[in-house]
Structure 1
Amino acid sequence: MTLHLHSLPAAALLVTCAAFMPFDAIAGVRVCTFPGSPSTALDQKVASETFRTAGIAATIVTHGIANGDDDGVSLKELDKTLGHQCDVIAGFPRSPVADATGGKMLFSRGYLRSGYVSIESANVKTTGVAQNTVAAMYASPAQLIAVQQTGVRLDLENTSALSVEAVAAGRARRAIVWYPAVVAYGRAHPEQRFTVSSTASPYADWHLVFAFASSGATLQKSVDAALDKMTADGRLAALTHEWALPASQSAAESAHAPKVSYLERATVPHAQQGGIRLAVAGTSTQGRFIKVSDAASTDVPSFDRMQANHGKALYASSCAKCHGGALQGVTGPALRGPAFAPISNAHLTVGGIFGYMATNMPADRPGKLKDQDYADIMAFLLFSNGYTPGSTKLTADNARTSATKLIAGPAH
């Protein structure tokens, strides 16, 4: 599962007016899933049982969601898919940091609470640089979680399955990964065993839901009623048991217990380099590596209002599609408020965010902007999270080396 959906196959379905008809007049509700998601098998089973319980004929569409362009699928494109190609999307991921509220879609209650976890192999012992390496899927919440840890080497893979494989093969000591990917990998490789722990990040907690077009309120109510019935009689728990987070982890999170860190401090020497940077470009099987270091200044960054305004314009053209026009999060996480930078997050720094952004964003053309343009976008993010502009312009060098914790406050 990833916030960027551009790797998912396109659906080739006929356009009809069915989405605008009463559902009792439709021969069958068309249910789309995300074939690229590790939870597709679960999503299809839950959908079939839910619509059977609701007494609604349904057809599972295996072709998936229509492709967007290279930087993901926008809310507009998903709205269009639901209006013409599908009546329902099963397995839609929602989170406090990316709840897709900026679109026209309606959502059911969640049928699976899952999230991003840290895994370590119980079969393989890592050596050398792998001892200090964490695997994560590129341009996904896993990478956002991983970059919050200082002093580690990141193996950025193209899929969540490859992130798990990096641990199984001994290339990485740990991986930050969508938990259903661990389940799917274990099904395909039953000889592999992993220890699982939670991750202390606002990007970790997700729910799978059904998504509907804006005209689907009646269907939404029927699905919610069916899910309630399946919860009451135990069928939903039976369907999702294998895919649910480990009981000990769920209990700890429910009780708001402290979450374990997913990687201890570095145990092997590493070069002291400020911020985050790409170190080696790899292939789809070897991943890409970035170095995260805590060697940075403690200067409070200063920016002026004019560059924040310029950053707002740059954000609108290069970032808003995935992160939302109001920074609320769409297929990418929110970039304002406590969901983005809570006071409890000790590792989210101005330098870390700037380095990640300048190296990896926009997702379709990482690093395409000038350094000063990235600094102006950073100024806009600071302003949007309650920081007060001054008279000195924020430079790329000052942003990159700032160790100031980014803590969201009231927006101006």
Structure 2
Amino acid sequence: MRTGFRSVTAVVPIALAALAYAIVVPVTPARATPLPSRSAPQQRHVREVGDTAITTMDGVYTLAQATRGGNVFAAYCKSCHTPTFHSGPPFRAKWYGRSLVDLFVYVRREMPKNAPGSMSDADYTLAIAYLLRINGMPTGAKPLAADTAELRRIRLDSVPAASSPEGPAR
């Protein structure tokens, strides 16, 4: 039984750190907005999602979110994952064409490995914004919402690795 006690005592500090971070870092809720208009060059990135056609190439997160998401990644993810593993071909192979809600539900259910589901939905969304950034997805004016209905409407699209705004993933 001591093993169970040790694993519980290992989770408590992590949960407290996550709670402290959630209290300190304010999150501005996103408002529902109409879909942006499409220009001809953007049409190649459009994938129909039910009655909508919006992709991560439409700027679905803000630069501020991605920056804060980098801090979340460093605090909760980096001890097990490198940004390189979550960018470029490995990321595209797993997530290209899927709904952003798939990625959100996966990371919320599975991460961090030592305490799955222990982060706030806002922090999971920030981490996803960071992943989008290191994968070359453009930023936009509206923040990515921690709302599964909204995330379900967005498909992960891909850009060539060389066009990442930060250069090669670090």
TM over 0.5: yes
CA distance, structure 1, for counterparts of residue 96 and residue 137 of structure 2: 18
Name the counterpart of 1:352. 102
How far, CA to CA, are the matches of 2:114 and 2:50 in structure 1? 29
Give the whole-Å Cα distance in 1 for the aligned partners of 2:100 and 2:159: 11
Aligned ranges for residues 8-407 of structure 1 at < 5 Å?
Answer: 298-301=53-56, 302-324=60-82, 327-328=83-84, 334-342=85-93, 347-397=97-147, 400-407=151-158
What do the CA deviations read for 1:270-323 (whole angstroms, capped 9, x no partner)? xxxxxxxxxxxxxxxxxxxxxxxx989643351111111000000001111111
Could you tell me which amino acid in structure 1 is paired with residue 78 of structure 2? A
Q: Output the CA distance in 2 between the equivalents of 1:378 and 1:350.
A: 9
Alpha-carbon offset, residue 400 of structure 1: 3.3
Provide the rounded CA distance (Å) in 2 between the counterparts of 1:376 and 1:296: 26
Gap change, CA 1:377 and 1:346, over 3 Å in 2:
closer
What value does the CA root-mean-square deviation take over the aligned residues?
Answer: 2.8
Q: Which has the higher helix share?
A: 2
Larger radius of gyration: 1
Alignment pair present for 1:411 and 2:164: yes
How has the CA–CA distance of structure 1 residues 304 and 346 changed in structure 2, closer, same or farther, with 3 Å as cutoff?
closer
1:372 touches 1:396 (CA, 8 Å); kept in 2?
yes
Judged with a 3 Å threshold, the aligned counterparts in structure 2 of structure 1 residues 347 and 353 are, in CA distance, closer, same or farther, namely: same
Q: Which amino acid aligns with 2:134?
A: S
Does the 8 Å contact 1:303/1:389 carry over to 2? yes
The one-letter code matched in structure 2 to 1:402 is R
Q: What secondary structure, in the 3-state scheme, does the structure 2 residue paired with 1:351 have?
A: helix
Give the secondary-structure state (helix, strand or coil) at the position aligned to 1:374.
helix
Shift of 1:345: 6.5
Residue 408 of structure 1 and its aligned partner are, at CA, apart by: 4.7
The alpha-carbon distance between structure 1 residues 397 and 321, as it changes in their structure 2 partners (threshold 3 A), is same
What TM-score does the superposition give when structure 2 sets the normalisation length?
0.57
Matched pairs, number? 113
Alpha-carbon spacing, 1:393–1:345, altered in 2? closer, same or farther (3 Å): closer
Amino acid of the structure 1 residue aligned with 2:124: Y
5+ residue gaps, structure 2: 1-9, 12-48, 166-170
Q: Identity across aligned pairs (percent)?
A: 25
Please tell me the residue identity of whatever aligns with 2:71.
Answer: A
Q: Cα gap change, 1:323/1:408 in structure 2, threshold over 3 Å: closer, same or farther?
A: farther
TM-aligned CA distance change 1:371 to 1:308, over 3 Å? same
CA contact (8 A) 2:69 2:127 kept: yes
Q: Look up the equivalent residue of 1:396 and give its one-letter code.
A: A
